[in-house]
């Protein structure tokens, strides 16, 4: 093989790689999205089972800073009580797993649970509890809501892809609270459209759905972040 033939062969290989690489990345992202959907469905199912075992009442507030957080959030309840066995279940495959150990009560661990303030504003009839009061046998300080009081569980987002973005710092991590309205230009938590312009969601009736900005408007979401952590109004 002559030198010219080798150059031609190399050029052809470079062209083929250029053509195949985008398709490979697209397939990889779709596989990751499926893996994320599987993990979120596992978490959501465990959350529904936990709620069923606690008289239909769900812990709606992620942390209660007035008490021991390890006993007060939905993630530690699932993990410490054996509903979820593997800590890796809380991480989306597309997101970096922190190198150091993160405690189960951290806000940087887990998919986002629908924010309490948003729930209370839109669905006041399902909310119960107040700070400093024992609700439905749960620990003091926990805000709660009843899943069986939701009128249309097929449209009620329970869990979703979320992210905490801190401007000017290295924080771009998953967040265990899901805000439907993210404020641009500052550090905030919001919906993360990290799967080819869509985010995965687990609904109160147990079904999964991947939704983009247009569909999210129908569910009452206002804004979030795109795949590159840029603020996006819906």
Give the pLDDT confidence of 30-41 residue by residue, as tens digits. Answer: 888 999 999 999
With cut-offs at 50, 70 and 90, classify the pLDDT of residue 195. very high
Residue 135 has pLDDT above 60, yes or no: no
Q: Phi first, then psi: give them for residue 79, nearest 5 degrees.
A: -75, -50
Distance of CA 121 to the CA centre of its chain: 21
H/E element, 99: none
Could you tell me the residue range of the domain that residue 174 belongs to?
A: 3-233
Q: What percent of the chain has pLDDT over 90?
A: 28
**Residue 197 φ/ψ region, left for φ over 0, alpha for ψ in the -120 to 50 degree band, beta for the rest:** left
Q: Is the pLDDT of residue 200 over 70?
A: yes
Report the mean per-residue pLDDT for the chain. 78
What Cα–Cα distance (Å) separates residue 76 from each residue in 103, 110, 142, 176?
9, 10, 14, 11
Look up the pTM and report it.
0.80
The residue ranking higher by pLDDT, 140 or 27, is 27
Domain count along the chain: 1
What is the structure's pLDDT at 80? 83
């Amino acid at each position: 093989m002559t030198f010219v033939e080798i150059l031609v062969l190399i050029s052809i290989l470079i062209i083929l790689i250029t053509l195949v690489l985008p398709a490979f990345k697209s397939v990889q992202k779709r596989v990751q999205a499926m893996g994320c959907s599987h993990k979120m469905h596992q978490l959501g199912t465990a959350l529904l089972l936990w709620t069923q075992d606690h008289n239909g009442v769900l812990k709606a507030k992620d942390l209660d800073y007035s008490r021991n957080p390890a006993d007060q959030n939905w993630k530690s309840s699932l993990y410490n009580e054996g509903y979820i066995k593997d800590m890796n279940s809380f991480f989306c495959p597309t997101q970096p797993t922190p190198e150091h150990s993160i405690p189960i009560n951290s806000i940087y661990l887990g998919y986002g649970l629908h924010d309490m303030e948003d729930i209370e504003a839109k669905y006041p009839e399902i909310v119960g509890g107040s700070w400093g009061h024992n609700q439905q046998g749960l620990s003091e300080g926990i805000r709660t809501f009843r899943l069986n009081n939701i009128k249309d569980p097929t449209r009620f987002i329970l869990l979703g892809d979320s992210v905490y973005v801190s401007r000017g710092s290295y924080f771009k991590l998953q967040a265990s609270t899901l805000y439907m309205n993210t404020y641009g230009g500052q550090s905030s938590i919001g919906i993360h459209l990290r799967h080819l312009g869509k985010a995965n969601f687990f609904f109160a009736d147990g079904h999964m759905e991947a939704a983009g900005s247009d569909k999210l408007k129908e569910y009452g979401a206002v804004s979030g972040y795109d795949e590159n952590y840029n603020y996006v109004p819906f």
